[in-house]
Amino acid sequence: MLEATGLMVFYENMLALNNVSISCENNQIVGVFGANSAGKSTLMYTLSGIMEDIKKKEDMAGRERITVLGAIKYLGKDIMGLKPSQRARQGIILCPERRRIFPESTVLENLRIGGYLASPPQKKESLEYVFRIFPALEKIKKRVGGFLSGGEQQMLAIGRALMAQPRLLLLDEPLLGLSPLIQVLLVRSVKEIRDERGVSIIVTEQYARPVLPIVDYAFILENGANTGGAIGQP
Amino acid sequence: MDILIYGTINSMALALMALGFALVYGISRIPNFAHGALYVISGFVTWGFVRALGVNYLLSVFLTMIIIGVVGALIYRFILIRVRGMAISEIIASYAIGLAILEGLRWGGFKGMTYTLPVFVEGSVDIAEIPVDFHRLVVVGIGVAVVAFLWLFTHHTRIGLALRGMAQDERAALMLGIDSDLMAVVAMALGSMLAGLAAILLLPLGNIVVEAGYNVLILAIAVCIVGGLGSWMGAVLAAFLIGFAQILTVTYLGSHYQMVVALLAIIFTLILRPSGLFGQQKELEERV
């Protein structure tokens, strides 16, 4: 489904990603594990195209020079250089690190903003689905996003990404800063989403343990490079 | 009593002037210093249709709104898009556009007392023994309608919700497939149309003069700063605050202090509460 080869990302002369290759087949959950600053978020930004936007803004303001090299093939087509909105339209949706909920909108509005790309029937169906896998959200749907707890925010962030009709969902550190109880719940939901919606998922984490049971394949990033250490068969 | 009535009318006029500015800033974070120029152009375009070409008034209002919306969108698409994200350049670029338009008009001979627009409805009515002409009531009515429309638009339509998403976190909106440049064009077009609407509603009360462009810009900025930059509801409330303050000064001090009120409001807000009345965004961020 997605195949990225030889990804290199430079911030000025600093090498953030060094020759990273990653692939994700249909209906797979792929894990990317690594410590802080290993390049996990950079990888996610590069795959989802947000890096193009960051690069454009930095260029315009004459700040850091960002260089992205390599190839990303998605559904057989090269998507390198496509804008993030175009990639999202093709089904690559990023659920970002630290969740980035819209803080002044209610839970329901957050989800409806997420449904920007969906048709009205899709929106209705996805909304029901999100409330089914995260019943906690339905109870607080009138609450403002900024006042949610970390776990609720993460559920909302995943729900919001689902509203955008993903075919490949990129989850960047979904368990960051959450209690073990919620971690277990979220990990179970991620697996459910894959099984029931047929969505391929790439998930990054610092601590592999909670995610390990559900990944089909995982590899380890260290200092921006793929160590070659892998878990499972690609 | 006349303070109440004329205060409300003045406040609504201020709100209409400021809403376009607040909308554009709230969504794309571009302080559109060409706002006043767009306001004045709309006046002259409508004048051109009505007086010079003899088009039906309602039709020319409609046409003007479309034209000014397109002009706003083009300004963003070809000029502001290049400086987006650099605060100083945004101000310089948009102010330069505004100056060029206004001084261009002045140079082109659009000055003097001959440029007036007809009022919507002739005549006046007495409210509690104070004569109020119908046109001012129309201004209040349409002002309320515009605020209601904006609220519905941003809470219940796909584009409106996307605009709000982008206003809160542009990058998160990008991840959901919302194209930020497209949204900024939409915001700029809407903001320009609001400036045009304000011009069409308020200019019949006096002459169309180039200087109005600068006054409208200052008033719009004052209202937006007091209300909290980027907050539309804050802008409406601040419009009432400044509007009533202005009418009170006119009644008790004299009409030439009117502009001073707006400028003092900016200074006091920046000293006492720099984020404005409704700059809640920061408070929320601290809590999370």
pLDDT digits (tens, 9 = 90+) for A87-146: 999 999 999 999 999 998 999 999 999 999 999 999 999 999 999 999 999 999 999 998
Distance, in Å, from the CA atom of A130 to the CA atom of A115, rounded to the nearest integer, reads 12
pLDDT of residue B208: 87
Interface test with A, best of B176, B185, B282 (most A CBs within 10 A): B176
Which residues share a beta bridge with A221?
Answer: A226
Q: Distance from A112 to chain B by nearest Cα, in Å?
A: 7
Give CA angle at B37 (B32, B40), nearest 5°. Answer: 140
Section B22-31 average pLDDT: 89
Asked if A102 reaches chain B (Cβ–Cβ under 8 Å), the answer is yes
pLDDT of residue B113: 66
Residue B160 — φ and ψ, nearest 5°? -60, -45
Distance, in Å, from the CA atom of B171 to the CA atom of A84, rounded to the nearest integer, reads 10
The two tokens of residue B150 are: 């904006």
Answer for the pair B193, B11: CB distance below 8 angstroms, yes or no: no
Q: Do B162 and A116 touch (CB under 8 A)?
A: yes
pLDDT of residue B199: 94
Asked if A143 reaches chain B (Cβ–Cβ under 8 Å), the answer is no
Dmax over CA atoms of chain A, in Å, equals: 49
CB-nearest partner of B176 from A103, A146, A160 = A160
Confidence label for B284 from pLDDT (cuts 50, 70 and 90): very low
Confidence label for B26 from pLDDT (cuts 50, 70 and 90): confident
Distance, in Å, from the CA atom of A214 to the CA atom of A185, rounded to the nearest integer, reads 12
- Cα-Cα-Cα-Cα dihedral sign, residues A222, A224, A229, A234: positive
H helix runs in B79-179, sequence order: 87-107, 134-156, 158-168, 170-175
| Type and span of the H or E element at B72 | helix B57-78
Answer for the pair A155, A137: CB distance below 8 angstroms, yes or no: yes
Q: CB pairs below 8 Å between A and B: how many?
A: 97
Q: Which amino acid is at A102?
A: F
Query: Coil, strand or helix: which one is A12?
Result: coil
Q: Which amino acid is at B174?
A: L
Section B125-154 average pLDDT: 89
Q: Which residues of B touch A114 (CB under 8 A)?
A: 176
Q: Do A53 and B174 touch (CB under 8 A)?
A: yes
Asked if A114 reaches chain B (Cβ–Cβ under 8 Å), the answer is yes
The two tokens of residue A40 are: 């996990």
pLDDT digits (tens, 9 = 90+) for B154-172: 999 999 999 999 988 999 9
Asked if A181 reaches chain B (Cβ–Cβ under 8 Å), the answer is no
Q: Do B82 and A60 touch (CB under 8 A)?
A: yes
Answer for the pair B201, B138: CB distance below 8 angstroms, yes or no: yes
Answer for the pair A231, A212: CB distance below 8 angstroms, yes or no: yes
Confidence label for B121 from pLDDT (cuts 50, 70 and 90): confident
Residue-range domains of chain B with CATH: 2-111+134-280 (1.10.3470)
Which residues share a beta bridge with B125?
Answer: B132
Q: Give the DSSP letter string of A93-122.
A: EEE-TT----TTSBHHHHHHHHGGGS-HHH
pLDDT of residue B280: 54
Q: Distance from B184 to chain A by nearest Cα, in Å?
A: 14
Distance, in Å, from the CA atom of B271 to the CA atom of B54, rounded to the nearest integer, reads 50
For residue B279, pLDDT beyond 50: yes
Q: Distance from B165 to chain A by nearest Cα, in Å?
A: 6
The two tokens of residue A33 are: 């594990």
Q: Which amino acid is at B67?
A: I
Q: Do B161 and A113 touch (CB under 8 A)?
A: yes
pLDDT of residue B128: 76
Q: Which amino acid is at A75?
A: L
Q: Do B178 and A116 touch (CB under 8 A)?
A: yes
pLDDT digits (tens, 9 = 90+) for B208-260: 888 889 999 999 999 999 988 878 888 999 999 999 999 999 989 888 888 88
Residues of chain A with pLDDT under 50: none
pLDDT of residue B273: 80
Asked if A232 reaches chain B (Cβ–Cβ under 8 Å), the answer is no
Q: Which residues of B touch A104 (CB under 8 A)?
A: 164, 168, 280-281, 284
Q: Do B172 and A102 touch (CB under 8 A)?
A: yes
How many whole angstroms from its chain centre is CA B79?
Answer: 21
Q: Which residues of A touch B182 (CB under 8 A)?
A: 85
Asked if A84 reaches chain B (Cβ–Cβ under 8 Å), the answer is yes
Answer for the pair B278, B237: CB distance below 8 angstroms, yes or no: yes
Q: Distance from B29 to chain A by nearest Cα, in Å?
A: 14
For residue B286, pLDDT beyond 70: no
pLDDT of residue B283: 46
Q: Which residues, in sequence order, are CB contacts of B269 under 8 Å at separation 6+?
A: B225, B226, B276, B277
Q: Which residues of B touch A93 (CB under 8 A)?
A: 175-177
Q: Which residues of A touch B284 (CB under 8 A)?
A: 103-104, 144, 146-147
A128: how many CB neighbours lie within 10 A of its CB? Answer: 10
How many whole angstroms from its chain centre is CA B183?
Answer: 19
* Chain A residue with minimum CA distance to B160: A113
Distance, in Å, from the CA atom of B186 to the CA atom of B52, rounded to the nearest integer, reads 30
pLDDT digits (tens, 9 = 90+) for B4-22: 998 999 999 999 999 999 9
Residue-range domains of chain A with CATH: 2-99+168-231 (3.40.50.300)
Q: Which residues of B touch A50 (CB under 8 A)?
A: 171, 174-175
Q: Which residues, in sequence order, are CB contacts of A130 under 8 Å at separation 6+?
A: A111, A137, A159, A162, A163
**% of residues, chain B, pLDDT over 70:** 96
List residues in chain B touching A: CB distance below 8 A. 82-86, 155, 158, 161-162, 164-165, 168-169, 171-180, 182, 280-281, 284-285, 287-288
For residue B188, pLDDT beyond 60: yes
A105: how many CB neighbours lie within 10 A of its CB? Answer: 22
pLDDT of residue A37: 86
Q: Distance from A162 to chain B by nearest Cα, in Å?
A: 10
Q: Which residues, in sequence order, are CB contacts of B131 under 8 Å at separation 6+?
A: B124, B125
Q: Do B176 and A60 touch (CB under 8 A)?
A: no
Q: Give the DSSP letter string of A28-89.
A: -EEEEE--TTSSHHHHHHHHHTHHHHHHHHHHHHT---EEEEEEEEETTEE-TT--HHHHHH
CA dihedral A201, A122, A88, B163 (to 10 degrees): -130
Answer for the pair A87, A170: CB distance below 8 angstroms, yes or no: no
Confidence label for B288 from pLDDT (cuts 50, 70 and 90): very low
Q: Do A116 and B168 touch (CB under 8 A)?
A: no
Q: Distance from A89 to chain B by nearest Cα, in Å?
A: 6
Distance, in Å, from the CA atom of B104 to the CA atom of B106, rounded to the nearest integer, reads 5
